[in-house]
Amino acid sequence: MFWYFAPDITRKGRTVKPFAVVLLMLFLAPSVLLGAEPSVALNEAIILALERNHLVSGAAYEKEAAEQGAAASLSRYFPRIVFDEAFSASDLPTRVFMMKLDQGRFTQNDFLISNLNTPSSTTDFRTALILEQPLFDLGIGYGREMAQREAERMGFRFEGRREDVGFTVYASYLAVQRAKAVLAAAEKDVAEAREHLRVATAHGREGTGLKSDELRARTFLSETEERTITALNDLKLAKMRLALAVGGGSGDSLDIREDVTGEVFRLNEEEIVRQAGANRRDLKGAEKGVARAEAAVGLARSAWFPTLYAAASVQMNDKDVPFGHDNDGWSAGVNLRWEIFDGMERMHGSARARAERDAASQYLEQFRKEVALQVRESILRRAEAGKRLEVARHSLLAAEEGARLVNKRFANGLATMVELLDAQSALNRARTGLVERETDHLLATARIYHAAGIFLKEMTP
């Protein structure tokens, strides 16, 4: 298939096949332009969904946001440079004194007691360029580690969302396949019911049949036609759900081009459990959540240590205009801050962080067990679905043979219409049951791979 050869690229954390999507859309375009219902193969549907489904796109943006947050946390290691322009006016003695000193306008008259105590109001425009550089702050490192673990967690969440959407598309594809098979079986049932009605009507005209047989056959035909309408509606809805799963609109419809067939399940139980531990994205995301909680413990502990920052600034002051230059100056220094007592806030904060870390660890351990159980359950359910499929196949063979024999007996006047319609009903149920069991078995296999976190790897080329 042509789209397999398109090279992968990564955009906003999403791996896409650009040429695949373009070629696929060009392939579908003629059907849309001609008014025909577009159709896709399974792999095409999954490719479209991974590119267009809003759940995948939303997860990609969440991942991008977390990555940007991790990148932003690195900025705290670098100096911060701030440009500041401030205006103030005052007649407070200390403020007026400092304004005039900063502006270089201080005179001998300003030392007069009356001028010192009750100075005239004055104004000041202060222009400053300030630099601050952290020299020692343990909280920066732990904060960055928390942001990195969160970005990694969101990355696994994005990959898990791709797995979920791929599985949803597969299930939707199978739903269309099942609905088409059910509709085909229903149409066959209608054709056979019409034949029964024809025979009953002919017997009635010849005087060898009962009026009640004709009425029963007509009622049976109506019931099968009713089931056909239901099957047709189910097919329409299944196509609409498939279109929605691949990123289409709520009113769009998408048909399938080929049926999915069963594949041999190659992995044993212990291997698939091991694969789940290594590949389940939500499990790996939970592990990153524990790592983030561990970093939060370090962040809480860092509050007990001092911080050391260097700062420097250059400043201009002017009495009348902004950005003016009556006088200028500079300052530089280092600030050591060590909080000695805070009302035991840090002690409780550290205890809280440790408790949250321990809780995350406990949840992770339970989740590991749940994942293993989910895999083992899905394997058991697949075996159960396989047995039901085998029973359904035998049931269809038995129903076909039973209907054949009753039909033959009815033609020879040895069976009643009730017996004939009962045999036909059993055959109808067996046909529909086989379709259901075949779909269940295919879905059960896919559910194992999804539970192990390897659905896209195993179910797509």
327/453 same-domain check: no
- Residue 439, in any domain of the structure: yes
Q: Angle at the Cα of 299 (from 294 to 302), degrees rounded to 5?
A: 130
278/378 same-domain check: yes
Q: Name the CA radius of gyration of the chain, rounded.
A: 38
Q: Predicted confidence band at 149 (pLDDT cuts at 50, 70, 90)?
A: very high
- Residue 22, in any domain of the structure: no
Q: Predicted confidence band at 49 (pLDDT cuts at 50, 70, 90)?
A: very high
CATH number, domain containing residue 375: 1.20.1600.10
Number of domains present in the structure of the chain: 2
Residue 322: give the domain boundaries. Answer: 80-136+305-337
Instruction: State the pLDDT at residue 138.
Output: 95
Alpha-carbon distance 295 to 317, whole Å? 45
- Residue 387, in any domain of the structure: yes
Cβ atoms of 48 and 246 within 8 Å: the answer is yes
Instruction: State the pLDDT at residue 350.
Output: 95
293/394 same-domain check: yes
280/177 same-domain check: yes
Instruction: State the pLDDT at residue 312.
Output: 96
Q: Predicted confidence band at 208 (pLDDT cuts at 50, 70, 90)?
A: confident
Residue where a domain stops, chosen among 337, 353, 387: 337
Please give the DSSP secondary-structure letter assigned to residue 36: P
Over residues 32-59, the mean pLDDT reads 85
Over residues 352-377, the mean pLDDT reads 96
- Residue 261, in any domain of the structure: yes
453/351 same-domain check: yes
Instruction: State the pLDDT at residue 27.
Output: 45
The rounded Cα 416 to chain-centroid distance in angstroms is: 58
Q: Is the pLDDT of residue 17 over 70?
A: no
Tokens read off for 325? 């230059």
Kindly report the number of other CB atoms within 10 A of residue 354's CB atom: 16
Instruction: State the pLDDT at residue 128.
Output: 96
- Residue 9, in any domain of the structure: no
Over residues 261-281, the mean pLDDT reads 84
Residues β-bridged to residue 309 = 134, 335
Instruction: State the pLDDT at residue 32.
Output: 43
- Residue 193, in any domain of the structure: yes
In the chain, the N- to C-terminal Cα span, in Å, equals: 10
Over residues 291-300, the mean pLDDT reads 96
Cβ atoms of 113 and 32 within 8 Å: the answer is no
Alpha-carbon distance 274 to 454, whole Å? 11
Tokens read off for 418? 């009730």
314/360 same-domain check: no
Q: Predicted confidence band at 206 (pLDDT cuts at 50, 70, 90)?
A: confident
Alpha-carbon distance 283 to 453, whole Å? 9
361/417 same-domain check: yes
38/181 same-domain check: yes
Q: Which residue has the tokens 């459990």?
A: 273
Q: Which are the contacts of 338, defined by CB distance < 8 A and separation ≥ 6?
A: 305, 306, 307
Over residues 357-370, the mean pLDDT reads 96
Q: Is the pLDDT of residue 460 over 80?
A: no
Task: Characterize 305-339 residue by residue with b for buried, 16 or more Cβ atoms within 10 angstroms of its Cβ, and e for exposed.
Answer: eebebeebbebbbbbeeeebebbeeeeeeeeeeee
Q: Is the pLDDT of residue 411 over 90?
A: no
Instruction: State the pLDDT at residue 354.
Output: 96
Q: Angle at the Cα of 238 (from 233 to 241), degrees rounded to 5?
A: 130
Tokens read off for 39? 């159709």
Instruction: State the pLDDT at residue 250.
Output: 80
Instruction: State the pLDDT at residue 461.
Output: 64
Instruction: State the pLDDT at residue 264.
Output: 66
Q: Is the pLDDT of residue 209 over 80?
A: no
CATH number, domain containing residue 323: 2.20.200
Could you please report the per-residue DSSP string of 420-451? HHHHHHHHHHHHHHHHHHHHHHHHHHHHHHHH
- Residue 27, in any domain of the structure: no
Over residues 34-55, the mean pLDDT reads 87
Cβ atoms of 255 and 39 within 8 Å: the answer is yes
- Residue 43, in any domain of the structure: yes
Over residues 378-391, the mean pLDDT reads 94
Over residues 296-312, the mean pLDDT reads 96
125/257 same-domain check: no
Average per-residue pLDDT for the chain? 88
Q: Predicted confidence band at 33 (pLDDT cuts at 50, 70, 90)?
A: very low
Q: What is the pLDDT of residues 223-256, one digit of tens each?
A: 999 999 999 999 999 999 999 999 988 889 999 9
228/116 same-domain check: no
256/110 same-domain check: no
Residue where a domain stops, chosen among 337, 361, 389: 337
262/153 same-domain check: yes
Q: Angle at the Cα of 339 (from 334 to 340), degrees rounded to 5?
A: 130
Instruction: State the pLDDT at residue 35.
Output: 54
